[in-house]
Structure 1
Amino acid sequence: MKKVFLLLSALLLAGVVSAQGHKKNILGVRAGLNVSSYSISESGVSIESDARAAYHIAVSDQILLSERLPFYLETGLAYTSRGGRLGNVSLRPSYLQIPVLVNYHIGIRNIVSIQPFAGLYYGLGIGGKIKERKSGAKVDAFGEDGMLKRSDLGVRLGVGATWRHYYFGLGYDFGCLNTFKEAEGGSSMRNNCFTISVGYNF
């Protein structure tokens, strides 16, 4: 316990020292890989869909919240393709997402910055298809015949790292809203997603 306390104290102290030279505003661009799947619950039974690999592109803005500690509020705008596979059906929705995150910059010898982050994201469905793979039949994911609601909301956790202006990040999104349009009898479908991002900060 004493070792954990000392480690946390050292990290906070490093943050205080490094905060002195931190930018008040950091703009960045990001792109990377999504691996998403659906958590489905119906009549007390839970299953997980097969995963789908896709991509995301984003712009980000980090705003310094404190002069003493390097806490940042991070937001931005992202285009992200998600979904999953249920048997012979492939769901491929696309969203515009706005994150609201808090991250903390831990400087290591003024070379690398480690940045754990946590917060929420909101997604608005803007396109994508639901495809029956054997027949090739397609419908709009959010259209009249589609099965998905347009709104999505979730929790985002992860960690980033910067070296000079270059960025690398790992994150996981836990979907909180039921995205299934015709939910009956307590059935629900939530989209979760693991992300790998690379980018550049200006």
Structure 2
Amino acid sequence: MKKVLLIVAAMLLANAVSAQNHEKNILGVRAGLNLSSYSISESGGSISTDSRASFHVAVSDQILLCNKLPFYLETGLAFSSRGGKIAGISFRPSYLQIPVLVNYHFNIKDIVTIQPFAGLYYGFGIGGKMKAGDEKGDIFGDEGIFKRSDLGVRLGAGVVWNRIYFGLGYDIGCLNLAKDVLTNGGDGTMRNNCFSISVGYNF
């Protein structure tokens, strides 16, 4: 354990020494794969839906928070397609998302930068359909069964090589998406989960 702490301390010190060379603002573009599902909980227990493969595209902005250490505030705007499948019903909502994350840049010999991140995201549903057999309906709106707002925790890490970005992330939804009509007025909840793989470029 002491060796691990010493290694981490050495990496932090090395990054602190070179922090003056870090960019103060980093703009980037991202795109990639989503594997999303829902966690459904009721008084009788909880289940997860089957996953749905979809996509996301985003622009990001990283702002240096500290001159002595390469901590960054990361935000931006993303279009993200989500959903899941259960009992022959598929859900295909689309969201505009704004993340508020903190990341740290571990610079490895000025070749590769590893960027673990954690924070929150807010999503606003802008459209989408649910489908059961040949029947289709809107997910959001007056006739829809989902609330538009989604809020959750985002964890993950990215790797940057020669300004090319590769990232893995996981979103854990915190808000109940379901309107009462979906839970028959009961205490059931439905929350977003999403694993994402991203590629991109930092300008």
Range of TM-score over shorter length: over 0.9
Compute the displacement of 1:185 (Å).
2.7
SS at match of 2:21: coil
Tell me which amino acid in the other structure corresponds to 1:138.
K
Contact 1:130/1:146 (<8 A) preserved? no
1:127 aligns with 2:148: no
Contact 1:94/1:126 (<8 A) preserved? yes
**Match for residue 177 of structure 1 among 175, 178, 193:** 175
Tell me which amino acid in the other structure corresponds to 1:201.
N
Instruction: Give the number of equivalent residue pairs.
Output: 200
Aligned to 2:100: 100
Gaps of 5+ in 2: none
Larger deviation, residues 121-130 vs 14-23: 14-23
The superposition leaves residues 46-87 of structure 1 with CA deviations (integer Å, 9 ceiling, x where unpaired) of 000000000000000000000000000000000000010011
Compute the displacement of 1:126 (Å).
0.1
- 1 CA distance for matches of 2:168 and 2:109? 22
- 1 CA distance for matches of 2:154 and 2:44? 26
Aligned to 2:109: 109
Tell me which amino acid in the other structure corresponds to 1:47.
I
SS at match of 1:178: coil
Tell me which amino acid in the other structure corresponds to 1:58.
A
Contact 1:18/1:106 (<8 A) preserved? no
Aligned to 1:23: 23
Aligned to 1:2: 2
Gaps of 5+ in 1: none
Aligned to 1:189: 190
The superposition leaves residues 175-194 of structure 1 with CA deviations (integer Å, 9 ceiling, x where unpaired) of 00000011433200001000
- 1 CA distance for matches of 2:91 and 2:53? 11
Larger deviation, residues 184-193 vs 112-121: 184-193
SS at match of 1:20: helix
SS at match of 1:107: strand
The superposition leaves residues 75-119 of structure 1 with CA deviations (integer Å, 9 ceiling, x where unpaired) of 000000001001111000000000000000000000000000000
TM superposition score normalised by structure 2: 0.96
The superposition leaves residues 106-164 of structure 1 with CA deviations (integer Å, 9 ceiling, x where unpaired) of 000000000000000000000010111x2x21111103332110000000000001011
Sequence identity (%): 69
Aligned to 1:45: 45
